[in-house]
Amino acid sequence: MAEMILKKSDLAEFVKSLLNDYQVLAPVKEDQKVNFAPVEDGEFLLDFQNTFSSPKHLFFPQSEKMFEFSTDRADEGACILKEAGKKTPPRVVFGIRPCDAKAFQVLDKIFRNDQYSDPYWFGKREATVLIGLGCNHPCPTCFCTSVNCGPFHEEGLDVLAVDLGDGLLLKPLTEKGLKVFKQAKGLKPADDQAGEKAAVLKSEAEKAITSKVFTDQIAQRAVMELFEAAHWERVHESCLNCGTCTYVCPTCHCFDIQDEVAGAVGDRVRNWDTCMSWLFTMHGSGHNPRPGRKERVRQRFMHKFKYIPLKRDGEIGCVGCGRCINLCPVNIDVRDVVRNMNA
């Protein structure tokens, strides 16, 4: 199916036509921060930089119930775990930035390996249609073009929307995207001019990204050579090991599994966890393989820029969204670290 135009004045009609079969989520402003929330009309943002925290919580909530159980010994089924969690209803998420969509793609390769597949992640992924919004004006801290991504990148999206001014040019990319197209109202066929305008916006956006890092040397060097480099001695000095970077990052995925009990019933829950915490690798015996800040800070960058590419066909564990740069309380800049790794 060809590309379609959705005029901004028809946004409400578009959304309403989907509400029968899908929940629709779009960027709205809550308390000064932009986040995805359910909408029922066209009242949402198209003019924003990016959401405050990454949208990975759409598929990987910060706290998620995995199983339920009873601890009452009298109960025959006690101590046997029953799968919990509501099934995710079909939903359309509008306004995902290409960097965040690319991150979902990277995480797809992590939540599924050659033997196991994470049903909690994929259950939500299968139920969701992602309509991305190209970045006409990337942020000063974006460096997506350096990490296999870009302001109009299509990987991970079902539809790509480009803001032409008075309307959006929508390009279907997958079967799921096409299904939404067939059902939605308010779409009109696009002409060649629209396509040309979008192409110009794309190349201007890519030119506007001035932040660049190179990862070619990192890809060539052996793990131990990168691991034993001298610059790690200085990077960690100011790090607070607070975990902010890991929580706002769209590709960070490490989690903890805990059992929580209240009386005679309990849940097995998974929560986001962070390699910045000393508890992350602590053995019961008291031995800690990553005892200090240096080891933990080094681990995060090595994992994202060396180990993930090694294990996942060259995918880099960073999409250049810049959230960690903006939110790190001590201004540890990932771009500087990568430059040192690549030097």
Partner 1 sequence: MQNPYQPYPVRIDKIIVETEDKNLRTFRLVFLNPEDEKAFNYTPGQFAELSLAGYGEIPIGIASSPTEKGYLLFTVNKVGSVTSALHNMKEGDLMGVRGPLGNSYPLKELEGRNVVIIAGGFAVTTLRSTITWMLDPAHRDKYGKIIFIYGARTPGMLLYEEEWSAWQKRDDIDAYITVDREFPGWNGMVGFVPAVTEQVGPSPENSSALVCGPPIMIKFTQPVLEKLGFSEEQIIMSLENRMKCGIGICGRCNVGPEYVCKDGPVFTLAQLNQLPKEY
Partner 2 sequence: METRTEKIRETAKRLLSEGKVDLVIGYRAGTIPLRTAPYFARTVEEAENLIWNSHCRINLANFLPRRKDRVAVTAKGCDARNIVNHIIENQIRRDQVYIIGVPCEGMVELDLVLEKEGRPIQEVIESNGKLTLKGRDFSTSLDRAEVLRQNCLTCAHRNPTVYDELVVDQVAELEGVDRYVDLKELLAQSDAERYAYFQNLVKDCIRCYACRDACPLCYCHVCFVDETMPQWLGKSIDPPDVMTYHLLRAFHCTGRCTDCGACEAACPMNIKVRQFTRLLEKDVKELYGYEAGLSLEAKPPLTVYRPDDPQEFIK
* Closest CB 269 distance from partner 2, rounded Å: 6
| Structure tokens that stand for 13 in this block | 């009609």
Residues 44-83 that bind partner 1 (CB under 8 A): 66-67, 69, 71, 78-81, 83
Q: Quote the CA–CA distance of 269 and 280 in Å, as a whole number.
A: 17
Rule CB under 8 A: choose which of 53, 88, 105, 281 binds partner 2: 53
- Would you say 130 and 101 are in contact if contact means Cβ atoms under 8 Å apart? yes
**Pick 38 or 329: Cβ nearer partner 2:** 329
Residue in 306, 280, 310, 308 with CA at minimum distance from that of residue 295: 280
Binding mask 121-160 for partner 2 (x = CB under 8 A): ----------------x-xxx-------------------
DSSP string covering 84-117: --PPPPPEEEEEE-HHHHHHHHHHHHHHB-SS-B
Binding partner of 67, given partner 1, partner 2, none, CB within 5-8 angstroms per partner class = partner 1
Site track 241-270 with partner 2 (rule: CB under 8 A), x = hit: xxxx-xxx-------x-x-x--------x-
- Selected from 32, 115, 210, 220, the binder of partner 1 by CB under 8 A is 115
Reading the block at residue 216, the tokens are 């070619």
Could you tell me how many residues make up the chain?
A: 343
Question: How far apart (Å, rounded) are the C-alpha atoms in residues 338 and 241?
Answer: 18
Per-residue b or e along 156-181, where b marks 16 or more CB atoms closer than 10 Å to that residue's CB: bbbbbbbbbeebbbbbbbeebbebbb
Q: Which stretch binds partner 1 (CB under 8 A): 4-12, 212-220, 229-237, 289-297?
A: 289-297
Q: Is the alpha carbon torsion for 275, 277, 278, 282 positive or negative?
A: negative
- CA angle, 236 as apex, 230 and 239 as ends, to 5°? 165
261 binds partner 1 (CB under 8 A): yes
Among 201, 302, 321, 337, binds partner 1 (CB under 8 A): 302
User: With CB under 8 A as the contact rule, which of the stretches 26-34, 35-43, 109-117, 135-143 interacts with partner 1?
Assistant: 109-117
Judged by CB, which is closer to partner 2: 188, or 234? 234
* 303 scored as a contact of partner 1 (CB under 8 A): yes
- Report the run of H or E that residue 159 belongs to, with start and end: strand 159-163
What does DSSP assign to residue 191?
P
**Footprint of partner 2 (CB under 8 A):** 31-33, 49, 52-53, 62-63, 137, 139-141, 234, 237-238, 240-244, 246-248, 256, 258, 260, 269, 271-274, 277-279, 325-327, 329-333, 335-336
